[in-house]
Amino acid sequence: MLLILPTTNYQPSDYLPILIQFGLALAFVAFAMIVSHLVGPKRSSKVKNEAFECGIESVGNARTPISVKYFLTAIVFVLFDVEVIFMYPWAVNFRALGNDGFIAMVLFMFFLLAGFLYIIKKGILRWNEA
């Protein structure tokens, strides 16, 4: 199946509004940084130069190892987040996609469920066990 795209000839002047908006955004960022540097206070002390983390005193090394389960849980969250993103357009165009769209979504959900069962089998979601 070949996709036939309409032939349109974009001129460089068609991209001018995008370039102007990009330039204005960069100019605003630069302006805000320069003004805050010039106008802001320049007092320094030992307390101000320390790392601040939610009001908790910094203790120990910041390079302590983090459990792999944290990262795996984050990946699982992203996986299901992407699933929902794909399901919204499918649900909106459900009737227009017909049987092919339904079969594609059933396959997508099957593979997603297979991955979820694999995650449960591996015990990624069991945090309290050693």
Mean pLDDT of 107-117: 89
Contacts by 84-92, CB closer than 8 A, 24 or more apart: none
Quote the pLDDT of residue 83: 84
Quote the pLDDT of residue 66: 79
Q: Which two structure tokens, joined as six digits, stand for 32?
A: 């805000």
Which positions ≥6 away from 72 have C-beta within 8 Å? 119, 124
CA 78 – CA 3 distance, rounded (Å): 31
- What are the CA-CA distances from residue 12 to residues 6, 44, 49, 86, 97 (Å)? 19, 49, 48, 34, 37
Query: Across-strand partners of 53?
Result: 56
DSSP 52: -
pTM (2 d.p.): 0.46
Q: Alpha-carbon torsion 51, 54, 60, 65, what sign?
A: negative
Average pLDDT, the chain: 84
Q: Is the pLDDT assigned to residue 56 strictly greater than 80? A: no
